[in-house]
């Protein structure tokens, strides 16, 4: 149930807008989960050795594992304009596609260096798409770290995919967002039990899983960081369904209910499908979240999951919110979660890390959710932290994962309680 003080909501509360130093990974990071999800796609980053190192260390892949991503390294001659980077890119793509016949979709991913030298990847993708049609579809998007955060990589990728979808006037439901397989299957099972048949998911697992879009397409995001994809769907004429995100028992129920109401599913069917898993999730959360109750939490801006997760921690686990920071706030997309936050919450968008650290010291939260770069120094200062990126890589959506989600936040508090006891003993 909502906390009493959340009833007024936070949807029109002032937002502290900050534009200073920010501490986040770049959009290339999302290739790590996207390449696993899109099984016939290859991600070719057009970037520097730094980009290659980021991918290599984030994915932990060894060269002989033939991963479905790589970096076409821009050498100094390219950066200085002494070589024709377009020609070199065409040569690299030709070599890659002759060696890897399994590739059906090739993403040319822009980076900071390719943007700085203004390499026109859109034209390159168009030319290569014509050249390799129909065997390979070539699409470009930017994963650059200039003024972005890591989940925007998926957003930019899906936005580019949506731009190229075929038109269709068929009535259908389209779900946006890459989800771990186990969660993806649970979601489709729930929608099937509700009687929804014409359901597609973006990103598609394989290019044969045809997805089209038009004015009879209803869509809902399963991830809160898909603002540009959301806007592109609207531009393509599709109708958005907005709801709190499917985190926890309440979030999942509200998300499914918004879909059920749009497609005229009866109340009886809805209850028959959701009552039992909802109850199970509520009980499981209750058990795990005892240690979270009445504790305070502070979110640094990182994954763009912050607002829905803050709603979950406050509404379903009884935590107090000191500050909820998010790199970007797309008010239409996260509006239903914002409405459920307590009016007293400080909301911040963007980052000025020093000022935010000052606010953290003043707030002295029991738990701080932040990026890897801040976590260790804050732990050393006695703060209990949770790595935000872990929340993106873990299955946390829908009923069956609700207790796991609560325990991701409970674990660090448990750990620091035990350490305190150890120190006293
Ligand atoms: Fe670094 Fe930019 Fe490459 Fe990301 S895209 S690894 S921020 S140079």
CA 58 / ligand 1 centre spacing (Å): 13
How many CB atoms neighbour CB 205 within 10 A?
Answer: 15
- Mean pLDDT within 308-333: 96
Which range has the worst mean pLDDT, 100-109, 113-122, 187-196, 220-229?
Answer: 113-122
6 vs 321: which has the higher pLDDT: 321
Regarding the beta carbon of 50 and ligand 1, being less than 6 Å apart is answered yes
How many CB atoms neighbour CB 386 within 10 A?
Answer: 20
Domain 167-278 class in CATH: alpha beta
Ligand 1 atom nearest the C-alpha of 53 is: 6
27-148 in CATH: which number? 3.40.50.1980
Regarding the beta carbon of 142 and ligand 1, being less than 6 Å apart is answered no
CA 47 / ligand 1 centre spacing (Å): 8
Regarding the beta carbon of 47 and ligand 1, being less than 6 Å apart is answered yes
Q: In what order do the strands lie in the sheet with 172-176?
A: 199-202, 172-176, 217-221, 239-240
Regarding the beta carbon of 350 and ligand 1, being less than 6 Å apart is answered no
pLDDT surpasses 80 at 63: no
Of 84, 106, 89, 88, nearest in space to 97 by CA: 106
CA 304 / ligand 1 centre spacing (Å): 19
| 291-314 tens-digit pLDDT | 999 999 999 999 999 999 999 999
Q: Which CATH superfamily is domain 4-23+284-424 in?
A: Nitrogenase molybdenum iron protein domain (3.40.50.1980)
- Mean pLDDT within 314-333: 96
Please check whether residue 342 is in contact with residue 11, taking contact to mean a CB–CB distance below 8 angstroms.
no
| 3-state DSSP of the chain | CCCHHHCCCCCCCCEEEEECCCCCCCHHHHHHHHHHHCCCEEEEEEECHHHHHHHHHHHCCCHHHCCCEEEEECCHHHHCCCCCHHHHHHHHHHHHHHHCCCCCEEEEEECHHHHHCCCCHHHHHHHHHHHHCCCCEEEEEECCCCCCCCCHHHHHHHHHHHHCCEECCCCEEEEECCCCHHHHHHHHHHHHHCCCCCEEEECCCCCCCCCEECCCEEEEECCCCCHHHHHHHHHCCCEECCCCCCCHHHHHHHHHHHHHHHCCCCHHHHHHHHHHHHHHHHHHHHHHHHHHCCCEEEECCCCCCHHHHHHHHHHCCCCEEEEEEECCCCHHHHHHHHCCCCCCCEEEEEECHHHHHHHHHHHCCCEEEECHHHHHHHHHCCCCEEEHHHHHHCCCCCHHHHHHHHHHHHHHHHHHHHHHHHHHC
Regarding the beta carbon of 111 and ligand 1, being less than 6 Å apart is answered yes
Regarding the beta carbon of 365 and ligand 1, being less than 6 Å apart is answered no
Regarding the beta carbon of 145 and ligand 1, being less than 6 Å apart is answered yes
CA 109 to chain centre: 18
Regarding the beta carbon of 86 and ligand 1, being less than 6 Å apart is answered no
CA 89 / ligand 1 centre spacing (Å): 18
Lookup: tokens for 181: 């397989």
Calpha distance 273→319 (Å, rounded): 29
As annotated, the residues of the chain forming the CATH 3.40.50.1980 domain(s) are 4-23+284-424, 27-148, 167-278
CA 45 / ligand 1 centre spacing (Å): 10
- Give the global pTM: 0.92
Which range has the worst mean pLDDT, 46-50, 115-119, 258-262?
Answer: 115-119
- Mean pLDDT within 76-99: 82
Confidence of residue 5 (pLDDT cuts 50, 70, 90): very low
Quote the Cα angle for 9-387-57, to 5°.
135
The per-residue pLDDT for 4 is 46
Mutate to test the pocket of ligand 1, among 144, 150, 151, 157 (most ligand atoms within 8 A of CB): 144
Regarding the beta carbon of 55 and ligand 1, being less than 6 Å apart is answered no
Confidence of residue 80 (pLDDT cuts 50, 70, 90): low
The per-residue pLDDT for 1 is 43
CA 296 / ligand 1 centre spacing (Å): 34
Calpha distance 141→155 (Å, rounded): 10
| 380-425 tens-digit pLDDT | 999 999 999 899 989 999 999 999 999 999 999 999 888 776 555 4
Ligand 1 atom nearest the C-alpha of 26 is: 4
Regarding the beta carbon of 48 and ligand 1, being less than 6 Å apart is answered yes
Strand partners, 172: 217
The per-residue pLDDT for 343 is 92
How many CB atoms neighbour CB 275 within 10 A?
Answer: 11
Place of tokens 């920071």: 325
Task: Name all contacts of 232-237 with Cβ < 8 Å and 24+ positions apart.
Answer: 232/159, 232/162, 232/163, 233/162, 233/174, 233/176, 236/162, 236/165, 236/167, 237/213
Ligand 1 atom nearest the C-alpha of 111 is: 5
Ligand 1 atom nearest the C-alpha of 113 is: 8
Regarding the beta carbon of 28 and ligand 1, being less than 6 Å apart is answered yes
Ligand 1 atom nearest the C-alpha of 27 is: 4
The per-residue pLDDT for 20 is 75
Confidence of residue 65 (pLDDT cuts 50, 70, 90): low
């Amino acid at each position: 149930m909502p906390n009493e003080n959340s009833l007024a909501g936070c949807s029109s509360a002032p937002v502290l807008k900050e534009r200073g130093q920010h501490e986040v990974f770049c959009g290339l990071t999302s290739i790590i989960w996207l390449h696993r999800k899109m099984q016939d796609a290859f991600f070719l980053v057009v970037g520097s050795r730094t980009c290659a190192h980021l991918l290599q260390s984030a994915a932990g892949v060894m060269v002989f594992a033939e991963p479905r991503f790589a970096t076409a390294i821009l050498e100094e001659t390219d950066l200085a304009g002494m070589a024709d980077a377009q020609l070199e890119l065409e040569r690299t793509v030709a070599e890659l596609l002759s060696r890897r016949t399994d590739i059906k979709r090739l993403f040319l991913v822009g980076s900071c260096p390719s943007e700085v030298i203004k390499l026109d990847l859109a034209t390159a993708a168009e030319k290569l798409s014509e050249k390799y049609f129909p065997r390979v579809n070539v699409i470009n998007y930017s994963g650059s770290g200039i003024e972005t955060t890591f989940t925007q990589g998926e957003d930019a990728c899906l936005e580019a995919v949506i731009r190229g979808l075929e038109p269709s006037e068929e009535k259908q439901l389209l779900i946006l967002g890459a989800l771990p397989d186990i969660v993806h299957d649970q979601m489709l099972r729930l929608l099937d039990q509700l009687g929804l048949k014409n359901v597609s998911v973006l990103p598609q697992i394989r290019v044969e899983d045809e997805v089209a879009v038009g004015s009879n397409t209803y869509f809902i995001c399963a991830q809160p960081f898909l603002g540009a994809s959301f806007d592109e769907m609207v531009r393509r004429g599709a109708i958005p369904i907005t709801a709190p995100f499917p985190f926890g028992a309440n979030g999942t129920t509200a998300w499914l209910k918004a879909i059920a109401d749009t497609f005229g599913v009866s109340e009886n069917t809805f209850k028959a499908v959701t009552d039992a898993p909802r109850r199970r999730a509520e009980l499981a959360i209750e058990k795990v979240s005892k240690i979270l109750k009445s504790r305070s939490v502070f979110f640094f801006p990182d994954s763009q999951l912050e607002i829905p997760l803050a709603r979950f921690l406050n509404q379903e686990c009884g935590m107090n919110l000191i500050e909820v920071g998010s790199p970007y706030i797309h008010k239409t997309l996260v509006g239903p979660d914002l409405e459920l936050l307590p009016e007293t919450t400080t909301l911040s968008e963007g980052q000025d890390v020093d000022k935010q650290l000052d606010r953290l010291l003043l707030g002295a939260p029991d738990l701080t959710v932040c990026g890897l770069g801040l976590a260790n120094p804050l732990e050393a200062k006695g703060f209990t932290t949770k790595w935000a990126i872990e929340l993106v890589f873990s299955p946390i959506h829908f009923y069956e994962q609700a207790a796991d989600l609560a325990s991701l936040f409970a674990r660090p508090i448990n750990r620091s309680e035990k350490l305190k006891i150890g120190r006293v003993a």
